[in-house]
Structure 1
């Protein structure tokens, strides 16, 4: 009985850390209300105009669409053009994948329970499924992850492929809600910082889903890991030696070889191979750490990417 009384405050602290802010993993759900509002605008083969999208989708939209609007949807005119250019992409996602979303609730809760056990002090985000302008599968704010259905479910996606992709997004985007803005040390080492930001999220996704994200990219990268690391280090040093501002660095071929290149990756490469490099560094860092939970928290905070790389022993 004494043991139980001593443990009760700790249990209350753990429970409070999970439930006091954010979503309860036991009742987590996927809000597809705005996705359905969009789908209603495309009934009977309709291709909605900018005015229809403004009135029926953007006006009165929930927080997910609002998160997606500034850098992705942009405005009704931009969205209308994207839909008109590829209406069958949207129709397929509406027909084949939107009806599957409610069945993914149990996957989301399992992933959130995993995160609650791993990092009980971190609030779990709300989640929205929306339709965007075909340019983003997902993004995150401080308290919400938002997924773009037309990107996650392109024509030909099977139910199992959709489920696998959504599980990966549930886990990966959750980590992004916990990450702070880049520190000066991170910005000074931009390629490494981006690799650890995205690859760290992929690494944590493997812990709570039991699967490596983008297994086709993993299968391509592992046999040539040493060569990829050499190329990554060359591009990293080129960016570190530049005096250009961050926007110019992001637009440079040294950065675009590894990130922001889906549809324009180097010939024979999968898109965004930098995620994989960062995942491998994160994996090595945690494997070497005596306190693995502390190491995971350091990966999320990402105060000094170079120190994490050195401590990981990766590439030595």
Structure 2
């Protein structure tokens, strides 16, 4: 995430044999959208919005396919949620700081995982239903959706930094690019939880700060429930189920997967090898990873852990 300047370009020397590039940050789509938005006085026509899509970046074109965007669908979303698109302009103000922080954070992936890839990050405006995802064009961030997701983290700058870090970890996970027909809860939770853990390691915190705060003191209760559901293919109670409620927030398995991944990292003697295993876990190795982590429901874990020594 970031940007009033156009890119996060440049190579950054890291101690050790590898060089890691800070990825390019593309925000032209955001600029183009709000030009159309302002010209239409907050209510651009579907035809004008289609022009925004038709002249967009590679990332926006990928996003258009992934989320079935059209000028008409965006116009309908804007008519239904005008405040979302108006408020999203406020997040433009945090982009310079986000850029600076990501310039420092993302190259750390190359330091701890030499095989890391650094595709571009595209900030764009969609129809309000995707904060962040990955595609062949790299990481795609929906400004309007993420700006409105204060339930993840009330601090907009932190929210953008940690969400982009989470999605950038997904870029490194081969299993995150797959789309299994019947995903099992444990495996899918390790993919999401692994991204949360490594995002914290490189950027300072997880994307779902709200879950961390909510779950404090409830570790054993929630994780005992999770342990009973490890093999289910019914993800809805645990993953991709929206904001949820104060009594039970959505996406709780992100947090449990994070805890399992952290447990594995803490006990590992070779931290770099542990990171490689976290990133390359697949459906066939999920159970072995769980066993090797030593995780049990409610176990005590350190609040923070450090990057592996050089």
Coarse TM-score class (shorter-chain normalised):
0.7 to 0.9
- Out of 225, 229, 248, the residue aligned to residue 269 of structure 1 is 248
Which protein is bigger by CA-based radius of gyration? Answer: 1
Matched residue, 2:296 = 315
Matched residue, 1:217 = 211
- Paired residue secondary structure (1:236): coil
CA RMSD of aligned residues (A): 2.7
Q: Any unmatched runs of 5+ in structure 1?
A: 1-9, 19-23, 240-248
Matched residue, 2:239 = 259
Q: 2:42, 2:86 within 8 Å by CA — same for their partners in 1?
A: no
User: Following TM superposition, by how much is the alpha carbon of 1:156 offset from its aligned partner in structure 2, in angstroms?
Assistant: 7.9
- Residues 201 and 142 (structure 1 numbering): CA distance in 2 closer, same or farther, change over 3 Å? farther
Q: 2:196, 2:254 within 8 Å by CA — same for their partners in 1?
A: yes
- Residues 160 and 278 (structure 1 numbering): CA distance in 2 closer, same or farther, change over 3 Å? closer
Q: Any unmatched runs of 5+ in structure 2?
A: 1-13, 298-310
User: Following TM superposition, by how much is the alpha carbon of 1:51 offset from its aligned partner in structure 2, in angstroms?
Assistant: 1.6
- Out of 43, 49, 53, the residue aligned to residue 53 of structure 1 is 49
Superposition TM-score, scaled by structure 1 size: 0.80
Q: 1:79, 1:132 within 8 Å by CA — same for their partners in 2?
A: yes
- Residues 293 and 156 (structure 1 numbering): CA distance in 2 closer, same or farther, change over 3 Å? closer
* Inter-partner Cα distance in structure 1 for 2:154 and 2:220: 33
User: Following TM superposition, by how much is the alpha carbon of 1:260 offset from its aligned partner in structure 2, in angstroms?
Assistant: 1.1
* Inter-partner Cα distance in structure 2 for 1:108 and 1:229: 32
Superposition TM-score, scaled by structure 2 size: 0.81
* Inter-partner Cα distance in structure 1 for 2:144 and 2:196: 21
**Superposed counterparts of 1:217-256, under 5 Å:** 217-237=211-231, 239=232, 249=233, 254-256=234-236
Matched, 1:86 2:81: yes
Q: 1:202, 1:279 within 8 Å by CA — same for their partners in 2?
A: yes
* Cα deviation code 1:240-271 (max 9, x no counterpart): xxxxxxxxx4xxxx4111111114x3661122
User: Following TM superposition, by how much is the alpha carbon of 1:298 offset from its aligned partner in structure 2, in angstroms?
Assistant: 1.1
Matched, 1:14 2:18: yes
Matched residue, 2:301 = none
User: Following TM superposition, by how much is the alpha carbon of 1:107 offset from its aligned partner in structure 2, in angstroms?
Assistant: 0.9
User: Following TM superposition, by how much is the alpha carbon of 1:143 offset from its aligned partner in structure 2, in angstroms?
Assistant: 5.3
- Residues 194 and 307 (structure 1 numbering): CA distance in 2 closer, same or farther, change over 3 Å? same
- Residues 308 and 172 (structure 1 numbering): CA distance in 2 closer, same or farther, change over 3 Å? same
- Out of 102, 105, 113, the residue aligned to residue 111 of structure 1 is 105
